[in-house]
Chains A and B, each alone.
Chain A
């Protein structure tokens, strides 16, 4: 493997700030990969290769990864936050009230039934439970939210709405969920395995629409579990997801 001159210098003290360290590591990672593709040695790469081989898109990807971690840059002129709200810390008071919803093209929805339950989607039940479960839908898709829940605890009655079927993001707080709606994976995914182990009702491969943070939801945990054979034969076996009237607390 071709190395950067700085690789392996263990005596290099880490940068003081986490954002500087993350940026440097990401830029080095790009340089390392581009250098690997360059036929010559480091001196040649530094003198002539780097300018063309490391592209603007590479550096945009570096910024993208920093932002994906939840980091927002400080700004000195508020025009920065106005022009690129996704990259900068919001101006005071501009914190967004989340109106986000998963919108799956195959979400099976239905108008309200007698109890006022409005079907907002379906998913694959990982195991059948005795009772359906009711709680408050909370999207958990950012590190910031996981960390806040880790520190302050997950609010009671939380039905986590997530899209990470490996459980990578939510693993440390999964135990505190009342239910899980996961937009990906299958009943054999790691998240499926974890939720069964904790006895938490969970629908995987969920196809939902119009389900927003704070909605009261009911998961059909009593639905039959989807089986390996069902996936192989394409058999439809689903658990339903309803949005409940706000005042409905059972």
Chain B
């Protein structure tokens, strides 16, 4: 994979990000990503806004059209495909767990979870840990074929450990690399590799 492709790919996943965030996702030195993104801005492939970069619409189209050529072998790889399908199944449980993290049943009604009930929160984090156990072999199978995907297991493990240690923002906070943030990016990465679209 060329650095240009990886920088664009990482930026497409992050949507709006600075060079170091993209570099951390795709495993390139930040300076390399900086230089690629600067070139991208100069040639109309990206825009700089609010302290971050975002891909220009046509650059996104070109990127998406290129995946078939770059990941054709992976798409035909039975072990990779099986692991991806397993991810999609576990993804449904993950979305339910995150929803149960954000909301709870009080007197028969679903309300926002204000995180004042430690026992409830602990139970949801336990379920998250259960999901993590299931996703670990899946991610290892994926990374066996595409090593850069290994970063997601590292980031997910880090987020889960922080949450288990009591810093509950690491479950779903959008402004950090929380469990849900990393999972969402992982899903986006896999969808692009496989050439499929998110169902919702």
- Digitize B54-70: 1 where CB-to-A-CB distance is under 8 Å, 0 elsewhere: 10111111110110110
Q: Name A144-178 residues within 8 Å CB distance of B.
A: 144, 147, 150-151, 165-166, 168, 171-172, 175
How far apart are A13's CB and chain B's nearest CB, in angstroms? 10
Residues of A within 8 A of B102 (CB): 127, 193, 196-197
Q: Which residue of chain B has the shortest Cβ distance to A189 in the bound complex?
A: B200
Residue in contact with B62 in the complex, picked from A21, A193, A198, A224, CB distance below 8 Å: A21
Residues of B within 8 A of A4 (CB): 69
Q: Name B69-126 residues within 8 Å CB distance of A.
A: 69, 72-73, 75-76, 95-96, 98-99, 102-103, 105, 109-112
Residues of A within 8 A of B44 (CB): 17-18
- Interface stretch, picked from B21-29, B127-135, B139-147, B172-180, is B172-180
B16 within 8 A of A: yes
How far apart are B186's CB and chain A's nearest CB, in angstroms? 13
- Digitize A11-25: 1 where CB-to-B-CB distance is under 8 Å, 0 elsewhere: 000101111011011
A198-B174 contact, Cβ under 8 Å, with A25-B61, A147-B54, A193-B98: yes
A65 within 8 A of B: yes
A123 within 8 A of B: no
How far apart are B94's CB and chain A's nearest CB, in angstroms? 10
Are A18 and B58 touching (Cβ within 8 A)?
Answer: yes
Name, among B4, B62, B174, the residue most crowded by chain A CB atoms within 10 Å (CB to CB).
Answer: B62
The distance in angstroms between the C-alpha atoms of A163 and B45, with both chains bound, is: 26
Q: Which residue of chain A has the shortest Cβ distance to B48 in the bound complex?
A: A151
Interface size class, chain A: 35 or more
Residue in contact with B198 in the complex, picked from A127, A168, A187, CB distance below 8 Å: A168
A190-B184 contact, Cβ under 8 Å, with A1-B72, A25-B65: yes
A172-B54 contact, Cβ under 8 Å, with A151-B47, A187-B99: yes
Residues of A within 8 A of B184 (CB): 190
Q: What are 28 residue pairs bridging A and B, where the CB atoms are less than 8 Å apart in the complex? A: A1-B73, A16-B43, A18-B43, A18-B45, A18-B59, A21-B59, A25-B62, A25-B65, A26-B61, A28-B69, A29-B69, A66-B58, A128-B110, A128-B112, A147-B54, A150-B16, A150-B54, A151-B47, A171-B16, A172-B54, A175-B174, A187-B99, A193-B95, A193-B98, A193-B99, A193-B102, A196-B99, A225-B110
Which residues on B are within 8 Å of A, measured CB to CB?
2, 4, 15-16, 43-45, 47, 49-50, 54, 56-63, 65-66, 68-69, 72-73, 75-76, 95-96, 98-99, 102-103, 105, 109-112, 172-174, 180, 184, 198-200
Which residues on A are within 8 Å of B, measured CB to CB?
1, 3-4, 7, 10, 14, 16-19, 21-22, 24-26, 28-29, 32-33, 65-66, 69-71, 127-129, 143-144, 147, 150-151, 165-166, 168, 171-172, 175, 184-194, 196-198, 224-228
